[in-house]
Amino acid sequence: MKIAEKIYLLSGMSYGLLGNVYGIVHRDGLLLVDCGRPHEAIPMIERNLRVWGLEKLPVTALLVTHGHPDHCGNGFYFQQQGATVVAGQKDADQILRLGDYDPVIFPCVLHDFEEDCLFEPYEVDIKVESDIHLSICEYDIEVLTTPGHTQGSVVYIITIKNKKYFFTGDTLSAEGSRAHVPVLGTAASVDYCAQSYISSMQKLLNRYPDAILGGHGIPRLVSSNAFVAQACMKAMKERS
Ligand SMILES: [Zn+2]
Ligand SMILES: [Zn+2]
């Protein structure tokens, strides 16, 4: 699905799979935000790249929002193909390097821990410890550390033609049937931290996103500052 100029939805809820995968075309190829659940997302991503005539573009970078298998599960595959992998430092060290989302160490109430949640481990190339800007081809990408859903969760902000697209992973999504309802990334992991989560949501306030492209649900393609504020309130209410 083409979302906006240069931005495509390549896998996820709209295709009956878990974990949205976004592709962004740049001058020298393609960058991906997240890569879906192990194995099942790859044929879907490749199918959709063919639909849009993008299959010959090299995937030069993979931006992982966090270390849950439905978002990071195929990183090894894309890294083998030459992609530079970016992820938050804590998830990079605690989850991606293991490749085994161990249900004892990292139980996760939202995902079933069948064998299909195990994935090939990989060493992240750029581990993000604090807020940074990355330069990938013609794009300046702001990476915000947003711990809470997992300790190493990050949000990527990419500006294209003066529009700010927020790739929020599971930190914040728009509900599938009611896009005005924020879906929060609370209580999904053993390493979930309510205090950090609220601070991270506050960090997203007043940044005036033109779109929220979450890890689940539907892409929300309208100006979304009030939506973030609503999510923030909801998170604080949940906590009290
Ligand atoms: Zn998650
Ligand atoms: Zn998820």
Please write the tens of the pLDDT for every residue from 219-232: 999 999 999 999 99
Q: Return the ligand number nearest the Cα of 37.
A: 2
pLDDT tens, 32-50?
A: 999 998 889 999 999 999 9
Rounded CA gap, 188 and 196, in Å?
Answer: 14
Q: Return the ligand number nearest the Cα of 21.
A: 2
CA–centroid distance, residue 27 to ligand 1 (Å): 30
pLDDT of residue 147: 95
Beta-carbon contacts of residue 192 (< 8 Å; ≥ 6 apart): 148, 149, 150, 185, 186
CA–centroid distance, residue 41 to ligand 2 (Å): 13
CA–centroid distance, residue 170 to ligand 1 (Å): 5
Report yes or no on whether pTM surpasses 0.85: yes
Q: Return the ligand number nearest the Cα of 108.
A: 1
Neighbour count for residue 180 (Cβ, 10 Å)? 12
Spatial strand order of the sheet with 21-26 comes to 2-4, 7-11, 21-26, 29-33, 59-63, 84-88, 126-128
Rounded CA gap, 134 and 158, in Å?
Answer: 10
What is the SS3 string spanning 69-116?
Answer: HHHHCCHHHHHHCCCEEEEEHHHHHHHHCCCCCCCCCCCCCCCCCCHH
* CA atoms within a 13 Å half-sphere pointing along the CA-CB vector of 239: 18
Which residues are paired to 159 by β-bridges?
164
Q: Return the ligand number nearest the Cα of 67.
A: 1
Q: Which residues keep their CB under 5 angstroms from ion ligand 2?
A: 68, 70, 170, 215
Which of 80, 81, 34 has the alpha carbon at shortest distance from 55?
A: 81
Overall CATH class of domain 2-239: alpha beta
Neighbour count for residue 232 (Cβ, 10 Å)? 20
CA–centroid distance, residue 45 to ligand 1 (Å): 19
Neighbour count for residue 191 (Cβ, 10 Å)? 22
Low-confidence ranges of the chain (pLDDT < 70): 99-117, 187-190
CA–centroid distance, residue 19 to ligand 2 (Å): 6
CA–centroid distance, residue 26 to ligand 1 (Å): 27
Q: What are the boundaries of each domain within the chain?
A: 2-239
pLDDT of residue 99: 67
Q: Return the ligand number nearest the Cα of 149.
A: 1
CA–centroid distance, residue 54 to ligand 2 (Å): 26
CA–centroid distance, residue 164 to ligand 1 (Å): 23
CA–centroid distance, residue 215 to ligand 2 (Å): 6
